[in-house]
Amino acid sequence: MLAALPVAVLAGSPQRVILSALIAAAYVFAAVVTLRRELVDRVLIAYVAVVAIWMLASWLRARYALHLQPEQLAYATSKTAYFVLIVLPMAAAVAVMVDRPEAIWPAAVAQVAVGAVVALITVVSLGDHFLGADRYSWQGNLIALGTVLAIQPWPIHRIRASAILGVVGVVGIMLAGSRQALAAAAVGLVLSALYWGASRYLGGAGTAWSRLRSAVSGGYVILPLALLVLTAGYLAVTYAGYAGVHLWGGASTSSSCHCVTDRLVSLETNAGDRDKLLAHGMQLFLSNPILGGGLGSFAGAVPDSLHPGHFYQYPHNVPLEIASETGIVGALLILFPLLLGWAALFWRGVKLASAPIASTLMLLAIFFTVANVSGDIPSERGLWIFGIVAFKLGVDYIWSRHRSRNMARAA
């Protein structure tokens, strides 16, 4: 079940409700069979229950206490139903099955394999969107996920193999044309370098200067930084070629490199309404910071410039969507526990130099970054699945430290 998780995350979506429900039901059944009834699982289930109850309460408020349009209420209903009945149960089920960081191994191996295959096809086909023109972003996201996992010392155990997969992945991301995948990969590479650098620094001996030199000279610190340099160089070369053709009056079609640089250049003349989405999200939050404007209240306010007559339903930023529609209370109930658990897991992984924890955090980093530039609450299922897994592992670390301190005091 965990090995099939990358495909399950890709296959399910709010546009395929029946398939998503069947997938979620399968994972819930597997979780019930393997449930160990430990304290950390009870904390996990309590968190998921609180989030579900809050989302239902927010929907009831939008339905009966606010004066929203029928289109807004319809979107709020579908969003709440999919999130509460499908996404949260599946996320909780996966977290129940992952009792320790090493248990994520099947999913990590499968994700590396999927990312490598997608990257190789993308490179060979010079950026052909073989997953479909509308799913080019997922094509890039799959490559980004596989790349940041491949450059970890686990599940890949040879740094040369990691370097090869990393280079292929960077080229694949560039050709896939997904700006969100580029941003996610960059965040993952930086986080990976910081993680292993901090781990080597804390685990080193000698003066602070000697430990710092040891930290920056580690192979798994240098590798992600080298891939960042490669990415920046690729962007610089392709952008220079684009600018050079226009400088000499060349046609715009001849300047295309068929890569993500073209889409970055387009931002110079058109922000793609993202600035309007963020501005309205902030305005909606400030109008009612405590409880928010209500689920679905963002829909219908910002017109889609690419599709006349259509409006955006969400701000393409999940944290902002939570804050603007459910307020500070919703953000504290939903996001704050996750952030606390993630920070605890990061600290534990750095202290232990844990490669399994690093891989778990890399999966989370990619999905969290994507959720900050695209998608809405129910569609970003990868964020909730791996976010809740990381939350559980972080809570387990906090509880184990508390228990160890009590035992030491008792002794």
Residue 266 has pLDDT above 60, yes or no: yes
> Can you give the pLDDT at residue 48?
98
What's the rounded Cα separation, in Å, for the pair 139 and 120? 11
Does residue 232 form part of some domain?
yes
Tokens 């499908």 sit on residue: 86
In the structure, what pLDDT confidence band is assigned to residue 239 with cuts at 50, 70 and 90? Answer: confident
Does residue 184 form part of some domain?
yes
- Give the dihedral sign, CA 29/35/37/38: negative
Residue 294 has pLDDT above 50, yes or no: yes
Distances (CA, A) of 364 to 15, 37, 91, 229: 23, 25, 13, 23
Average pLDDT over residues 321-327: 97
Per the structure, the complete domain to which residue 152 belongs is given by: 104-261
Tens digit of pLDDT for each residue in 162-176? 999 999 999 999 999
In the structure, what pLDDT confidence band is assigned to residue 269 with cuts at 50, 70 and 90? Answer: low
What's the rounded Cα separation, in Å, for the pair 322 and 372? 11
Query: What region, left, alpha or beta, does residue 250 occupy, with left being phi > 0 and alpha being psi -120 to 50 degrees?
Result: beta
The structural domain count of the chain equals: 1
* C-alpha gyration radius of the chain: 22
What's the rounded Cα separation, in Å, for the pair 260 and 177? 4
Tens digit of pLDDT for each residue in 16-66? 999 999 999 999 999 998 887 788 999 999 999 999 999 999 999 999 999
Distances (CA, A) of 358 to 55, 151, 346: 31, 10, 8
Does residue 224 form part of some domain?
yes
CB distance 315 to 298 below 8 Å:
yes
Does residue 26 form part of some domain?
no
Q: By three-state DSSP, how is residue 99 classified?
A: coil
Does residue 219 form part of some domain?
yes
What's the rounded Cα separation, in Å, for the pair 345 and 307? 43
Does residue 251 form part of some domain?
yes
293 φ, ψ to 5°?
-80, -5
CA 194 from chain center: how many Å?
Answer: 18
| Three-state helix/strand/coil letters over 32-80 | HHHCCCCHHHHHHHHHHHHHHHHHHHHHHHHHHHCCCCHHHHHHHHHHH
What's the rounded Cα separation, in Å, for the pair 117 and 223? 21
Does residue 341 form part of some domain?
no
Does residue 180 form part of some domain?
yes
Q: What is the mean pLDDT of the chain?
A: 92
Q: pTM of the entire structure?
A: 0.93
Q: Which helix (H) or strand (E) holds 360?
A: helix 355-371
